[in-house]
Structure 1
C-alpha cells in the first residue's frame, strides 16, 4: 500500500498571509516597529513554542495564546486553497493511495482548515502538535503516521513546504517531496535535497507511480 504524508500550512492550504499577519499583530503589540512582514517569514514552519522561546523566552505561553486568538478570529478571511490541490487529492483517493497530515499546528486548527477546504474525507487522520512530544524535524510524528497507516516505509513520501518537513521525512527513513509554491521558494527547499520537487500538486500523480 502506498501512502502520502502532507504538511498542512503552505502545502495544502495557503495560510502564509494569515501567519504573517498574526505574527505582525502580536509582535507589533509587544515590540513596536521592530518586525516587518519579511522578518515574520522565518517563523513559518517551526512550532509556535519553538518560535516564541527564541523571541520572548519568559512569555511563551502568553504569546502563544495571543497568537491563537487572533489567528482563529481571522482564519477564514485570510486563507485560500492552492491551485490543483482538491482535484489531485480526489484522484489520489481514487487510486487507493492512503493519505494523512503531519503538521506542527494543533489538530483542531488543522480540522478547521480541512472543513473550510471540504477536504476532510481525503485523509485517514491528521497528526498535530498535541499528538506527539516531539515535532518535525524530529521523526516521531512521521513514524507515528506510518504506524497508524500500517504501511512500509519504502512506499511513503513526506511532502512539505519547509525544511522541517524534508528533514523529518529523511530522519524517519522515507522519501521526501518539496513544493515549489513554498513561500521561501524552490531554491531554498532544494538545499535540503528532497527526493522530488513538485511544481504543481498534480505532479504527485506521476510520482506515486514510482513508489
Structure 2
C-alpha cells in the first residue's frame, strides 16, 4: 500500500472505474512489440524498446500525429494489424486481478472499464482473461469525442452505471487515469506496477497507490464475507 499518504478506507465508494491495459490486463509486451514493429516499418533502426515505453497511454492517433501527421492512419493500421495478430499470444494476467474483480462484483459494486482502446480490442482482452462477465459497461475510444484525462468518458461510464463522481474511484496506471479522475471529481488509485514506474505514478498524486490489485479490497474495506 502507498506510504506517501495516510491510508483512509473509502467506505463511501460503491463504483469502480478501471482502466484496462496495464491495470487489469498485462498488455505491456504486446504494446511494446506492436510499437516496435511499427517503428521498424517506418523508422528502421531509430527506436529501441525504452523509447516506445513513452508512447503507452494516449490514443494511437495522438502518438503517431507527433511522428508524422501525414501517415497517422497508415501507421495506426500497421500497429493494429500486428497487435491483433499477436494479441492472444502476448497478453498476460496480473496476479490477484481476477479474484479482486470477482469479489467486488459479488459484493455488488458498480464497475466499468474506461479505456483509450477501441471497443473491439478492449473486449478481446476482457474475454481472453475471463473478465468480460463482470463488466456490462465499457467506455472505449470509439464511444467518445474526448478521451482521458477529459472527464467525458468517465462521466459517460458513471451515467450508464447510474452513479456519481462523489461515490466513484478511478483506478489506472497512467496520468490519463489519475488526472481523468481528478477532472471528473472521483477518488483516484494509481497502480505501482505501471510500466512507467512508481515515481511516475506518485507525481500525479493519486489518493492511494496500490501495490497489488488485492490492495483495492483494503481501500474499500471489503472482506470475502461482507462488504464493509
Q: TM-score, normalised by structure 1?
A: 0.97
Distance 1:199 1:118 in 2: 22
**Distance apart, 1:152 and its partner CA:** 2.3
1:198 maps to: 210
Distance 2:216 2:162 in 1: 21
Per the TM alignment, residue 104 of structure 1 is displaced from its structure 2 partner at its CA by 0.2
Q: Which residue of 2 aligns with 1:91?
A: 103
RMSD: 1.3
Matched, 1:40 2:52: yes
User: Alignment partner for residue 28 of structure 1, among 21, 40, 49?
Assistant: 40
Post-superposition offset of 1:209: 3.3
Which residue of structure 1 lines up, in the alignment, with residue 113 of structure 2? 101
Q: Residue 10 of structure 1 aligns with which residue?
A: 22
- Any conservation in 1 of the 2:21–2:27 contact (CA below 8 Å)? yes
Alignment of 1:145-156 (within 5 A): 145-156=157-168
Q: 32, 46, 56: which one pairs with 2:68?
A: 56
Cα distance in 1 for residues equivalent to 2:139 and 2:89: 24
On the 8 A contact 2:137/2:161 being kept in 1, the answer is no
Q: 2:31 aligns with which of 4, 16, 19?
A: 19
Structure 2 distance, partners of 1:139, 1:125, is 16
Please state whether the residue corresponding to 2:214 is helix, strand or coil. Answer: helix
Aligned residue pairs total 211
Aligned pairs (5 A) from 1:124-135: 124-135=136-147
User: Shift in Å at residue 154 of structure 1?
Assistant: 1.4
SS of residue matched to 1:59: helix
* Structure 2 SS opposite 1:35: coil
Residue 102 of structure 1, CA deviation = 0.2
1:44-75 Cα deviation digits (max 9, x unpaired): 10100110010111100111111100000000
CA apart distance, 1:77: 0.5
- Secondary structure in 1 matching 2:141: coil
- Aligned mate of 1:185, from 179, 197, 200: 197
**Distance in 2 of aligned mates of 1:152 and 1:129:** 21
| SS of equivalent to 2:70 | coil
1:176 aligns with 2:198: no
Q: Secondary structure at the match of 1:130?
A: helix
* Aligned-partner Cα distance in 2 for 1:153–1:167: 14
Query: How is 1:135-174 mapped onto 2 (pairs within 5 angstroms)?
Result: 135-174=147-186
Unaligned runs of 5+ in 2: 1-12, 223-227
Query: Take 1:148 and 1:207, find their aligned partners in 2: how far apart are those partners?
Result: 24
Q: Counterparts of 1:63-78 in structure 2 under 5 Å?
A: 63-78=75-90
* Mapped partners of 1:75, 1:9: distance in 2: 12
